Chains A and B, each alone.
Chain A
Amino acid sequence: KQEVTQIPAALSVPEGENLVLNCSFTDSAIYNLQWFRQDPGKGLTSLLLIQSSQREQTSGRLNASLDKSSGRSTLYIAASQPGDSATYLCAVPNYGGATNKLIFGTGTLLAVQP
């Protein structure tokens, strides 16, 4: 059974710092991994989708890496800004039988202090 863990659970940094969020998964046979951002009370915004054949994916100040063999992904945020404050979630799809569903990590609550 796939389990996804995120460390740390919460993180507070001053504006301008570079930071790394971690995501671990127990079953390395994944098709892809997706990083989301969630603002309080809002839906999930997709940040990056990284395929199993890729090592990393970049979008602006965000860079996600994937190491299937070790069951780990990291989300690197460069030059953090107060607007980056949110909960960050990683998720992997579970294709059990004919179904599609996402297995989510527990999330990292990020606070960037001005």
Chain B
Amino acid sequence: KAGVTQTPRYLIKTRGQQVTLSCSPISGHRSVSWYQQTPGQGLQFLFEYFSETQRNKGNFPGRFSGRQFSNSRSEMNVSTLELGDSALYLCASSGSTGRQPGYGYTFGSGTRLTVV
């Protein structure tokens, strides 16, 4: 059973550019979440999608956006990149549809974004 696939693994972008990251969840999982990890802030929740709908968004500026397609694949976009956006971006999928105790999360290998 394939895991969570994130592409690309590494990205180097210049300030002011925009970037799109992709995440393919485990087959059958409809919940996809995105997290940003930096040395100073740890793991921070960006947003969660379920059946093509954004259910919640973390405390990030509007430059961070995402979407989910009908096959549950998700993309996140960061516009007008800043140096502080350099981070490891992690995607997680879950078989849970809501308040269900039986499901955990499976993470991808992440995309390392460096803004120069």
Contact = CB atoms under 8 A, between A and B. Distances in A.
Interface of A: 31-32, 34, 36, 41-46, 49, 51-53, 89, 91, 93, 95-102, 104, 106-107
A50 B90 CA distance: 22
A100 B107 contact: no
B110 A42 contact: yes
A31 B42 CA distance: 23
B72 interface: no
A49 B104 contact: yes
B98 A52 contact: no
A95 B56 CA distance: 11
B104 A100 contact: no
Interface in B67-116: 88, 90, 92, 94, 96, 98-102, 104-110, 112
Contacts of B43: 89, 102, 104
A43 B101 contact: no
Contact of A43 (B42, B90, B94): B90
B45 interface: yes
5 contacts: A31-B100, A32-B102, A43-B6, A46-B106, A95-B99
Nearest to B4: A43
Contacts of A51: 101-102
A94 B99 CA distance: 9
Interface string B24-60: 0000000101010000001101001010000110100
Nearest to B55: A99
A45 B55 CA distance: 25
A104 B90 contact: no
